[in-house]
Amino acid sequence: MVSVPSGLLTCLQRLEVLRTLSRIAGACALGMGLVLIGLQGAVAARARTILVFGDSLSAAYNLRAEQGWVALLQERLRAQGYGYVTVNASISGETTSGGLQRLPRALGLHRPAIVILELGANDGLRGLPLGTVRANLKRMIQLAEGAGAKVLLLGIRLPPNYGPRYGDGFANMYGELAAQFRLPLVPFLLQRVALNPELMQSDGLHPNAEGEAPVLETVWPYLVPMLRRAP
């Protein structure tokens, strides 16, 4: 056996330690890089979320979830190559007051790039004061924009039996809010279906399965420019 001088052995041992430390440092750097890439991907995914925040008109009332216009929207986004995930936080029977209570948590949870706000119909059907409805919608718009989201406002109209004073004031409220905050506005969500019994459920208030696609066609032209601008 060849003997190795102790001094040389010590140098070799130190060299091996340095090589080991170098490999560990390289592995750590690679790991940190992968973590950062993962975090960036997660942030990008959150930034490309569309939050639909509404009531039964967006919750596929009396239908299967996949038949609703929001589910059809997700299918179209995927088919046309838009990298967005749609979250439907709509609840049947929801009012603007209930929505205002729920919205902060939804914004924090989903961090949407776009909020499609569709509320007010149940307030109107109950004849609630327009000032209250408007204030609630205004505050929700402010919360969404404060969270960094773009807002698409969906307008609603009431049946004619509510009278022109209340009904017109209700419909105009959406246009006034859109002008105040410079938002894109769908003037009337049910524009293509409301007067066609073949596309409405028996209650005369909600689209049937065949009516959900025309609802999406009403929303789509207003949403597309927002998709192009979104990060």
Active site residue 206: yes
How far apart CA 99 and CA 117 sit, in angstroms, is 10
Element (H, E) at 88: strand 85-88
> 178 and 76 share a domain?
yes
Same domain, 121 and 20: no
Q: Which of 3, 6, 202, 203 is catalytic?
A: 203
**Where residue 202 sits, what CATH number does that domain have?**
3.40.50.1110
**Through-space distance between the first and last CA atoms of the chain, rounded to whole angstroms:** 68
Question: How far, CA to CA in Å, does 30 sit from each of 18, 42, 88?
Answer: 18, 18, 38
Distance in angstroms (rounded) separating the CA atoms of residues 158 and 124? 7
Let me know if 203 is a catalytic residue.
yes
Q: pLDDT value at position 47?
A: 43
Q: Which of 90, 110, 123, 206 is catalytic?
A: 206
The predicted pLDDT at position 28 comes to 44
Domain enclosing residue 85, as ranges: 48-229
Residue tagged active-site, from 56, 58, 90, 123: 56
Residues 89 and 29 in one domain: no
The reply to whether 26 and 103 lie within a common domain is no
pTM (2 decimals)? 0.80
Task: Tell whether 175 and 216 lie within a shared domain.
Answer: yes
Report DSSP state, residue 200. Answer: B
pLDDT in the model for residue 126: 98
Distance, in Å, from the CA atom of 65 to the CA atom of 61, rounded to the nearest integer, reads 8
Q: What is the pLDDT of residue 23?
A: 57
Residue corresponding to tokens 């008109």: 57
Which portions of the chain are predicted below pLDDT 70? 1-47, 229-231
Asked if 55 is an active-site residue, the reply is no
My answer on whether 9 and 93 are in the same domain is no
Let me know whether 104 and 91 are in one domain: yes
